[in-house]
């Protein structure tokens, strides 16, 4: 197993400059005080959450096992998880009640997937609730350099709005994912290798000087500001202070940076790099809450790297009535599961703060916005497809197919929040009774 704080990592801290410098304008800014004793590992490792969202839903007839309980049958899409089946649970029956109450469409489905908030319209200013990852980040995000991270690939056919975002900080604040692996790498690991101590010191001094000038400048703007502008200025100053805290925290961590990605990787390579960066983020405790979008809802990505010629969106409809499209759709989503399983395996092969593997302290959720992409629904007989890997040290009993009855999927999200240590009685619009995954 890879040691998190072994002797081989006690050399050069290779983060900060480009990453922290550019983070001011990105969604995963820290928003609370730094941890009191950053250099000392806690007695027990934290519980983390990663939600990986597959666009255009998951083809449930090739996903959902025919029987419940342990030793469930692997289906076409889930065959790649065989090596970790004992650490992976499928949850069926979960209903997106918020989608059922509105229009069954891509925007409404993706927008409400992690918020359980009915999306009434898709024009004008965004209107949504807070997503499950951000509830957790509000509670514990201050313990890490990045309170949360939003990553993704494939946004060439972006049409904006709710399709492109699954993480929401509030009703009008979508946290857009970083789609370029090189950009994501730069945010996390600004490399200082090859620089002299004087050059590194000069960079730090310049960075501090910039922050000081920003503070001085904003202080001169307070006179005669309207209440609205004063509030905006205060929010900006808060962001600057948070950036300073982030820089301090980053400089105190020792963790090996991965290889820097090449420019403009292909779709499959970009997916692999993003999963590798997520693994590194958890290994180094850079963040504890990540959302990853394999693509926006209504993605037209063609998985040509596995020999397919029809795009994702077309297959999501055609798979329900065409044998050829169904075969291709299952192959495509089996590849998605293969990538997800390889990510979980890397977590399983990495030692955490407490001596256990990182996977046992990480709740890995695999999901999509539809159970039936042809009719755009995630309720009735085709509920929200949910798979949960890892998290055993949080109490999850793994290796099962759990049918939870036709109850709101917000109850699953509420249950995950409680496993993360967030004590709240409800979540979203409908979540009031947490699904217990510990039995």
Please say whether the beta carbons of 52 and 364 come within 8 A.
yes
Average pLDDT score over residue span 285-294: 95
Average pLDDT in the 318-345 region?
Answer: 98
CA–CA–CA angle 20, 25, 29 (5° rounding): 60
Question: pLDDT value at position 143?
Answer: 86
Q: For position 216, what pLDDT does the model report?
A: 65
The pLDDT confidence band at residue 201, using thresholds 50, 70 and 90, is: low
| Residue 62 predicted with pLDDT over 50 | yes
Averaged pLDDT for residues 259-270: 89
7-419: what fold? Alkaline Phosphatase, subunit A (3.40.720)
**pLDDT tens column, 125-184:** 789 999 999 999 999 998 888 999 999 998 656 556 799 999 999 877 899 999 999 989
Residue 270 C-alpha from the chain's centroid: 16
Output phi, psi for 163, to 5 deg: -60, -35
150 - beta bridge partners?
Answer: 291
As a whole number of angstroms, the distance between CA 435 and CA 431 comes to 10
pTM above 0.95, yes or no: no
Question: What is the pLDDT at residue 155?
Answer: 64
pLDDT at 122: 79
What mean pLDDT do residues 311-327 have? 97
Q: What is the mean pLDDT of the chain?
A: 83
Q: CA–CA separation, 305 vs 268, rounded Å?
A: 7
In this prediction, residue 304 carries a pLDDT of: 96
Residue 15 confidence (pLDDT): 29
Q: Are 269 and 254 in contact (CB under 8 A)?
A: no
Domains of the chain, residue spans: 7-419
| pLDDT number for residue 25 | 27
366: CB partners within 8 A, 6+ apart? 52, 54, 337, 340, 386, 387, 388, 389
* Most distant CA atoms of the chain, gap in Å: 69
What's the CA gap between 360 and 362, in Å, rounded?
A: 6
Confidence band of 12 (pLDDT split at 50, 70, 90):
very low
pLDDT of residue 19: 33
Q: What is the DSSP letter of 128?
A: -
pLDDT digits (tens, 9 = 90+) for 348-407: 999 998 889 999 999 999 999 999 999 999 999 999 999 999 999 999 999 999 999 999
Determine the distance from the C-alpha atom of residue 167 to the mean position of all C-alpha atoms in its chain, rounded to a whole number: 8
Query: pLDDT tens digits for 70-107?
Result: 999 999 999 999 999 999 999 999 999 999 999 999 99
Once rounded to an integer, what is the mean pLDDT over residues 428-439? Answer: 97
- Give pLDDT, residue 159: 58
> Rounded distance, CA 12 to CA 25, Å?
27
């Amino acid at each position: 197993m890879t040691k998190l704080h072994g002797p081989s990592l006690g050399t050069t801290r290779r983060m900060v400059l480009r990453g922290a410098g550019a983070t001011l304008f990105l969604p995963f800014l820290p928003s609370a005080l730094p941890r009191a004793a950053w250099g000392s590992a806690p007695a027990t490792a934290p519980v983390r959450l990663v939600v990986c969202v597959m666009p255009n839903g998951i083809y449930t007839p090739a996903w959902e096992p025919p029987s419940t309980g342990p030793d469930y049958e692997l289906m076409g899409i889930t065959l790649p998880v065989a090596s970790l089946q004992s650490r992976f649970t499928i949850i069926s029956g979960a209903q997106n009640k918020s989608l059922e109450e509105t229009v069954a469409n891509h925007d409404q489905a993706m927008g409400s997937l992690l918020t359980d908030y009915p999306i009434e319209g898709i024009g004008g200013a965004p209107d949504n609730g807070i997503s499950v990852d951000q509830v957790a980040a509000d509670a514990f995000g201050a313990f890490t350099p990045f309170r949360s991270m939003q990553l993704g690939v494939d946004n060439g056919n972006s049409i904006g709005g709710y399709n492109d975002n699954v993480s929401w900080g509030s009703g009008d604040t979508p946290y857009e994912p970083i789609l370029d692996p090189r950009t994501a790498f730069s945010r996390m690991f600004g490399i200082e290798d090859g620089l002299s101590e004087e050059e590194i010191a000069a960079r730090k001094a310049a960075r501090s000087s910039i922050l000081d000038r920003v503070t001085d400048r904003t202080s001169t703007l307070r006179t005669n500001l309207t209440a609205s502008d004063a509030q905006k200025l205060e929010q900006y100053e808060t962001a600057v202070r948070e950036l300073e805290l982030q820089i301090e925290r980053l400089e105190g961590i020792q963790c090996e940076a991965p290889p820097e990605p090449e420019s403009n990787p292909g779709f499959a390579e970009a997916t692999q790099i993003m999963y590798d960066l997520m693994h590194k983020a958890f290994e180094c405790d850079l963040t504890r809450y990540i959302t990853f979008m394999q693509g926006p809802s209504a993605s037209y990505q063609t998985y040509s790297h596995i020999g397919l010629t029809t795009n994702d969106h077309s297959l999501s409809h055609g798979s329900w009535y065409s044998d050829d499209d169904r075969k291709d759709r299952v192959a495509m989503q089996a590849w998605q599961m293969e990538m997800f399983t390889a990510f979980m395996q890397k977590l399983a092969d990495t030692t955490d703060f407490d001596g256990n593997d990182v996977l046992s302290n990480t709740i890995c959720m695999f999901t999509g916005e539809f159970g039936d992409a042809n009719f755009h629904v995630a309720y009735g007989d085709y509920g929200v497809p949910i798979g949960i890997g890892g998290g055993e040290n949080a109490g999850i009993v793994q290796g099962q197919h759990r049918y939870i009855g036709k109850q709101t999927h917000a109850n699953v999200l509420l249950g995950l929040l409680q496993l993360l240590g967030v004590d709240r009685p409800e979540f979203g619009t409908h979540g009031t009774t947490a699904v217990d995954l510990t039995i």
